[in-house]
Structure 1
Amino acid sequence: MSPRNVLESQQFVHAATAGRRAAGCWKLATGQALSLHPDTHGVLQIAQGQAWVTLRGVLADMPGAAVDHVLRPGEQLTVAPGQHVVMEAWSGSGCAEPVAFRWDVLAAPALAQPASTAARDWECGVVQPLRDLGQALGQGGRALGTALASVAGAGGRFAVGFARFALLRIAAPLQRRPA
């Protein structure tokens, strides 16, 4: 799956980064859009919130046509290779909540037997929040490390400045003394 930006003015979330497949539960914050160009069959399923999804590509007899969908929790959309999906959080009232969704690549056996609902619920309800927590703790640790490095740098600059000030205050009266 290769992500591609569609609109330069919006913030975009890329579902796949270097060396990582886009599968499992994902979150899409309000004000962000997601653009997908899958190279295999897949299913987009909404776990939480509402999403406005535009599906563009080969649709029946209309190549290049676009169809809009509003997907609610539990609803899904099958996407064929070569189609383009743009998704964003949506609410009719104007204040959209973040969207939690699943993207599953469909292989031939997976088309015949989808994962159980309990397994999907466990993935979205337990495993993904634990991944999110681990990522948040990692980001917090990096931020704390950066802050400590900045404090150490400021402390070092303060010590050098104070030493320079003290030397000037001590050395100046010594130089003015008559011999």
Structure 2
Amino acid sequence: MRKLLANESLTIGAGQAMSVTAPVAQTLQITQGRVWVTVSGQGDDYWLSAGQFLNVAADSHIVIEAYKGNSVVQVQQQATRLPAVSARAGFSKPLTAGRTPATC
């Protein structure tokens, strides 16, 4: 299983899944396509499209699957640590350096 790195971009092919861990609290920003995301320990799964994001806590195990077309997920490290079982989705403008996503 691979670890997510801050400021990396993940490209996931249509119908493909990726299993990753977040070593620190991170934001997954969808910049292209639509993905299904599940986070271990969470009761809900998430459907996210371009322009949406998901905040995940440190040490989270995450599975991301692209739906229908290629999807791109931008990873951004969060400035503050989230609670151990926290995941929160929302909408935001694309991430830029030094900027955190809006909360919902």
> TM-score surpassing 0.5?
yes
Residue 60 (structure 2) aligns with: 83
- 1:85 counterpart letter in structure 2: I
| Structure 1 match to 2:72 | 100
Please list every run of 5 or more consecutive structure 1 residues that lacks an aligned counterpart in the other structure.
5-13, 58-64, 91-95, 109-115, 121-179
Deviations 1:78-136 (A, max 9, x none): 0001322100112xxxxx0000110111134xxxxxxx84847xxxxxxxxxxxxxxxx
Larger relative contact order (C-alpha < 8 A, sep ≥ 6)?
A: 2
Confirm or deny that 1:25 pairs with 2:9: yes
* Alignment check: 8 A CA contact 2:31 2:94 kept: no
- List alignment gaps of at least 5 residues for structure 2: 81-92, 98-104
Following the alignment from structure 2 to structure 1, what is the Cα–Cα distance between the partners of residues 28 and 49? Answer: 11
TM (normalized to structure 1)? 0.42
Higher share of residues assigned helix: 1
Which residue identity is paired with 2:66? A
Question: What are the within-5 Å matches in structure 2 for residues 38-49 of structure 1?
Answer: 38-49=22-33
Aligned counterparts of 1:52 and 1:119: Cα–Cα separation in 2: 23
Structure 1 CA distance, aligned partners of 2:65 and 2:6?
Answer: 17
User: 1:123-178 deviations in whole A, cap 9, x for unaligned?
Assistant: xxxxxxxxxxxxxxxxxxxxxxxxxxxxxxxxxxxxxxxxxxxxxxxxxxxxxxxx
Taking structure 2 as the reference length, the TM-score comes to 0.68
- Going from structure 1 to structure 2, the CA distance change for 1:66 and 1:83 (only over 3 Å counts) comes to farther
